Structure 1
Amino acid sequence: MRLQFIFLLTVLPLIAVAQGDSIEVKALLDEAYGYEDTDPTKALEIYGKAYNLSEESAYDLGAFRSLHYSGIVHSNMVNYDSALHYYRKSLAFSDKAKYPKGTAATYINIGNVYQFLGDYDRVADYYLKGIKVFEVIKDSASMAVTYENLAALFSSVKQHQKEMSYLEKALLIVPKANLELMGMIYGDMGLSQSKMDNLPKALEYFTKADSLSKYVDNPKLDFFVQRNFGEYYLLSGSYQKAILFLNRALKTNEKINDPYYRSLLLTHLGEAHAMIKEYSKANSYLKEALEMGQKNKIKEIQEKAYYTLAKIDNDQKNYQRAYKYLNLHMNFKDSLLNEAYLKQISLFEKQYETEKKDNEIASQKLQLQEKENDILKKKNQYNLALGGGGFILLGCLGLWLFYRQRQKIKNNEILALQSQQEVVKLEALIDGEEKERNRLAQDLHDGINGDLAVIKYKISSIEPDKFSKKEKIFYDDAISMLDNAVEQVRRISHNLAPPSLHNFDLIEAIQQFCSKQNASNPINISFQYFGNRLVLKKENETAIYRIIQELINNIMKHANATEALVQLNNHDDKLIITVEDNGQGFDTKSTENGIGLQNIKSRVDFLKANLDINSSAKGTTFCIEIDLKKNKK
């Protein structure tokens, strides 16, 4: 669902330059905008001149627009690393120019780029930043577009009910005169309904969007209307109608010159022709889409094209080639972390858990010593009463016992203070460890990832036409390896410090974790939550998240399971967490169980909870019962 991304970008370049701005810079901006669709390279060159002129004259608003529009052009060209570079650079100038709408729009566009790259945690972060600014300046049209983008985010993680709720919010606040935006929203609502298999409702929304398109002259809205009808008829099995509308959309796409949507339309046309057994046309469309996907590094297109090509060859009994295409399709779904980084993550996990356990032991020791002090004090009082009613000898004996007990109390108090200091030190170490994990995650993402992006940008600027065949292979391999490295570093960063724990509540964070595991692993993981809204301390939420993360990782590594269930049930101040699978089970009494299970038990103790494990050849069930009264915020 990339509709809002394109729509927002077409609005921003039309913002008028304020009275008193540099006439020359404005002329350059207008000239460059005219080249964006026909000659984007020329547009970038002119925007660069506008930026240099703005810098020389300290014209901050001109510098912002030059950089921001350069980011838009790179986004349309599918140069996402470059787009992020220009967007981030433009933020400093929108702040200097005191132009909050530009700042908010930049946040949204950065979020849009991350959405297309699949980095959903960052998408939400930047969208929320943009929404806060739009709320302050009361820009209802931009707010509506941002709600559309949030809907697209939830569509990407297959939460279509939330997607619809944000689209309905967008429809409520969109200015009634903005028929183009209203048409885009109706189109998105139709797409959402189609993903929930409610095709009659989808057709109703698509028809509303079509009606609005008749009142405005906008090629993008016309394109999406035709595209949406094409997808609708493809889903409903009316393949000839689907081909008709998809071809219309393909023709309209020539006006907006969007390579992503052209390649997506080609895959749909290939699928439609394959369904009516026109295999020659289907192969032609799919191979063109595949070539565009490879050229623009669009993994989604390559995955779709390879899958349909595999189905076509299978139908034609070309099983060897079908198997080859199916493997290529699966390669775009699978991702492996670098083994060295995995060892580094494991080391940090073990260090963190060891310090956590030491902290718990020290706390328990402190509690025992405090109880012993209470007992000693009561015993001392008893001895005093006995000595006061006895003889002088007994009194002297009582004084001696008092002195002895008092000395013991002093010694125990000293030990208690020492233990308390030890707890403080351990807590400081744990806090430092968490900060170090976050710092490492940030350094990996912003440092190494940034460097890799710059390296890729510089390598990509080399003209490969003059290379020999062998050098061309090395060049393509280098680009591919850089893409893999960027993806690995991003995943490692999120494993060390999952952003979803900071941006969402615990339930949404767990739901996102399960969805991500479903997307990249063969095991089908179901998530269910019942009961009241869950409110816990952040450290307790982190402990629960880590328990579930560890259990799911153990299932994937050791259980040989095909299905797993994560269920949270919150009723009557009791939170019941159940994680079960249909795997091969394990011996729960074995002393050879690894550090993963020890980490789980340590966190369960931290939560003052009870753990029950049942395992057999038919599967394993972990049941954790937490008394929320003991963990109140």
Structure 2
Amino acid sequence: MNKFLLLVFSILFAGMAFADGTKTLAADDTTSVIQLNKQGFDMRLTSPEQTIADGKKALAMAKKLNYVPGMAEAYRVIGIGYYYLDESVKAINNYLTALNYFQQLKDLASQGKVYNNIGNLYRYTDYDLSLEFFNKTLVIAKQLSDEALMAGVYNNMGTVYYHKNSFNQALIYYEKSSALYNKLKDSTNIVQLMQNKGLMYFNLHQYDKAEELLLKANKAAHQLDLNEVVAGIDLILAEQYIAQEKFAEANKAIEEGTVYAGMIKSDKMKSDFEYTSYQLESKRKNYEKALRYLRNIYTKDSLNFKQGASTQIKMMEEQVKQQDAQRKTEILLQRQANDRIKFWAVTIVAGLLLVLVGLLVSNVKRKAKTNEQLSTLNDEVSRQKDNLDRINHHLEEIIDERTKDLQIKNKKLSEYSSYLSHQIRGPIATLKGLMNLEKEGLVDQPECIRMMNKCVGEIDNKIIEMSDMLHDPVKTSL
């Protein structure tokens, strides 16, 4: 028997240990998903391909664990990777899927991030739509007091106003963003803000201020391995040096920027550097070389325009499809919720009816029992009434006796008061007279004291006499 019990306890202990191990493993796996998503996001400015790869790994792991928050964030990270590779359709698909998951989870902060990401997709093509998404993000960020999200959306709104050629308005938003990122000590975004502000000062023809900010940002971007930022800064510097006819510096910036554009595999950035090269050669009056750049640019622009228009249409179609699917899902969920409400309503009504019937039956039984108890109580009340009548009669007799006794005592008190008034006041008046005579020196002190002692003695005797009379039940008068 003891061996059997020992075996049972061993099995139970092993099962508990296995369960604990499984929980620990699951916790470790979800941590890995979170780390992969963060790692992918951090690589967005250095290697967008790595961002996508890390996001897909996180997504596969999260699906195995059925870890919905991890899946949602993985779709967002993958979308960011495709955004930096200029693959807008793939980006919007992943963003909308992420948004759907975050809405199901009621994760408001993450919804704000996705709205911000979608706003970025439209900021070069549809300014109003882009600002609409950014404003959605800003509302959520302010509601949650999320300074990091507010900083990001201010930065992006500044970029939209830059493309609308509202450079001073853009600077206002960049300054707001910069203040928040400095408070958060976010070095990556601080560098990006220096680049953006440098670009604004360049467009406002404040070249010295622009160059100072851009060179500082370029140095910091190299230190942080921000390849896309380095390429973007080189492009702005090249344009500024061309405007200032610093051709050697412009050429150096173009060469470095082209290398970094190749590293991040951005066709758009490469085209931008080709156009800048055309501007440089045209300014140098190397028209033949400038013409070659211009032909390449024209060919690519034609193709890019067609692809861009197609991409824009597909993005809008995908957004509409996703919204339609989301509406259908919401309707289905609402129907299911209504069905559940109806089921529980019917169940509750049936339960209440059963309770009501039970209460009615119980009430009839309780009423019969109450009537019986009332009859018993009535008999008892009658008996108590008879007893009270007898007690009341006895009390009347007692009250009469007490009244007579009180009358006698009141008479004695009245006599005592009269006696006190007549018998005590005489010696007291004598005492007062002796005191006045002594004050005026009309009587000898020894004689005065003797007579005062006599008066006091008389008063004491009268008081003792009165006390005896009051406590003597035989005597009825003084």
The 3 A distance-change label for structure 1 pair 85 and 325 is same
Instruction: Give the Cα separation in 2 of the matches to 1:307 and 1:160.
Output: 24
Superimposed CA distance per residue, residues 212-262 of structure 1 (whole angstroms, 9 cap, x where no aligned partner): 234221102311221221111122222222211111221232343211111
Residues 95 and 245 from structure 1, CA distance in 2 versus in 1: closer, same or farther, beyond 3 angstroms?
same
Q: Please point out which of 127, 134, 150 is paired with 1:160.
A: 127
Which of 24, 49, 69 is the equivalent residue of 1:101? 69
Structure 2 equivalent of residue 612 of structure 1: none
Q: CA deviation at 1:75?
A: 4.4
2:292 corresponds to 1:324: yes
Output aligned runs, 1:429-578, within 5 Å: 500-504=316-320
- CA 1:279–1:72: 2 relative to 1, 3 Å: same
Alpha carbons of 1:327 and 1:107: their partners in 2 closer, same or farther (altered >3 Å)?
Answer: same
Q: Does 1:235 align with 2:203?
A: yes
Tell me how far apart the structure 2 counterparts of residues 252 and 241 of structure 1 sit (CA, whole Å): 17
CA contact (8 A) 1:151 1:166 kept: yes
Shift of 1:167: 0.9
Tell me the SS of whatever aligns to 2:72.
helix
Quote the residue 1:294 is aligned against. 262
Name the stretch that deviates more: 70-79 or 218-227: 70-79
Counterpart for residue 171 of structure 2: 203
Q: Note if contact 1:222-1:252 (Cα within 8 Å) is conserved in structure 2.
A: no
Match of 1:173 in 2: 140
Structure 1's 334 and 78: CA in aligned 2 closer, same or farther, altered over 3 A?
farther
Aligned length: 300
List aligned pairs for 1:184-199, cutoff 5 A. Answer: 184-199=152-167
- The structural deviation recorded for 1:194 is 1.5
Q: Identify the residue that residue 78 of structure 1 maps to in structure 2.
A: 47
Q: Is the 8 A contact 1:186 1:205 kept in 2?
A: yes
Q: Equivalences for 1:81-480 in 2 at 5 Å?
A: 83-156=51-124, 158-174=125-141, 177-335=145-303
Residue identity matched to 1:64: V
2:279 partner letter: K
CA contact (8 A) 2:174 2:193 kept: yes
Alpha-carbon shift at residue 84 of structure 1 (Å): 3.4
Query: How far, CA to CA, are the matches of 2:27 and 2:150 in structure 1?
Result: 39
Q: Could you say which structure has the higher helix fraction?
A: 2
Secondary structure of the residue that 1:304 maps to in structure 2?
helix
CA distance in 2, matches of 1:186, 1:316: 39
1:173 to partner: Cα distance:
0.6
Deviation at 1:113, TM superposition (A): 2.2
Residues 122 and 137 (structure 1), Cα distance of their counterparts in 2 relative to 1, 3 Å cut: same
Normalised by the size of structure 2, how large is the TM-score? 0.56
Change in CA separation of 1:195 and 1:273 when aligned onto 2, cut-off 3 Å: same
CA distance in 2 between partners of 1:284 and 1:224 (Å): 21
Residue 320 of structure 2 aligns to which amino acid in structure 1?
F
Instruction: Quote the residue 1:583 is aligned against.
Output: none
Structure 2 gaps, min length 5:
1-19, 322-478
Tell me the distance in 2 between the aligned counterparts of 1:66 and 1:172.
28
Cα 1:75–1:219, aligned 2, differ >3 Å: closer, same or farther? closer
Show the counterpart of 2:327: none
Please say if residues 161 and 167 of structure 2, whose CA atoms lie closer than 8 Å, have aligned partners that are also in contact: yes
Deviations 1:42-90 (A, max 9, x none): xxxxxxxxxxxx7xx996425535654564576454252x543443343
Residue 281 of structure 1 deviates from its aligned partner by 0.5
Tell which deviates more after alignment, 143-152 or 132-141. 132-141
TM-score computed with the length of structure 1 as normaliser: 0.43
Check 1:221–1:137 CA distance in 2 against 1; reply closer, same or farther (3 A cut): same
In 2: Cα distance, 1:21 partner to 1:190 partner = 50
> Structure 1, residues 258-303: CA drift from partner, whole Å, max 9, x if none?
1111111111111111111111111111111112223442212211
Q: Which residue of 1 aligns with 2:434?
A: none
Match of 2:33 in 1: 64
> Is the Cα contact below 8 Å between 1:75 and 1:113 reproduced in 2?
yes
- Report the Cα offset of residue 304 of structure 1: 1.3
Secondary structure of the corresponding residue to residue 187 of structure 1: helix
Structure 1: stretches of 5+ with no match in the other structure: 1-19, 26-53, 337-486, 506-633
Bigger CA radius of gyration = 2
State how far apart, in whole Å, the 1-side matches of 2:66 and 2:112 are.
Answer: 23
Q: Helix, strand or coil for the counterpart of 1:184?
A: helix
Residues 121, 500 of structure 1: 8 Å contact kept: no
Inter-CA distance 203–504: structure 2 relative to 1 (3 Å threshold): same
Shift of 1:22: 9.9
Distance in 1 between residues matched to 2:230 and 2:21, nearest whole Å: 38
Please give the secondary structure, in 2, of the residue aligned with 1:333.
helix
Is the Cα contact below 8 Å between 1:219 and 1:255 reproduced in 2? Answer: no
Q: Deviations over 1:12-63 (max 9, x none)?
A: xxxxxxxx8999x9xxxxxxxxxxxxxxxxxxxxxxxxxxxx7xx9964255
Partners of 2:186 and 2:117 in 1: CA distance: 20
Q: Distance in 2 between matches of 1:21 and 1:499?
A: 45
Pair 1:97–1:287, CA change in 2 (3 A): same
Structure 2 CA distance for aligned equivalents of residues 205 and 22 of structure 1: 49
Structure 1 residues 300, 22: closer, same or farther in 2, change over 3 A?
farther
Q: Indicate the structure whose relative CO is greater, using CA pairs within 8 Å and at least 6 residues apart.
A: 2
Distance 2:96 2:51 in 1: 20
Structure 1 CA distance for aligned equivalents of residues 314 and 309 of structure 2: 9
The whole-number CA distance in structure 1 between the counterparts of 2:22 and 2:212 is: 48
Mean Cα displacement is larger for which, 211-220 or 144-153?
211-220
Q: CA deviation at 1:502?
A: 4.9
Alpha carbons 1:180, 1:221 under 8 Å: kept: no
CA distance in 2, matches of 1:224, 1:284: 21
Structure 2 CA distance for aligned equivalents of residues 502 and 295 of structure 1: 30
Which amino acid is 1:503 matched to? Q
Summarize the Cα distance change of 1:208–1:78 in structure 2 as closer, same or farther, 3 Å threshold: same
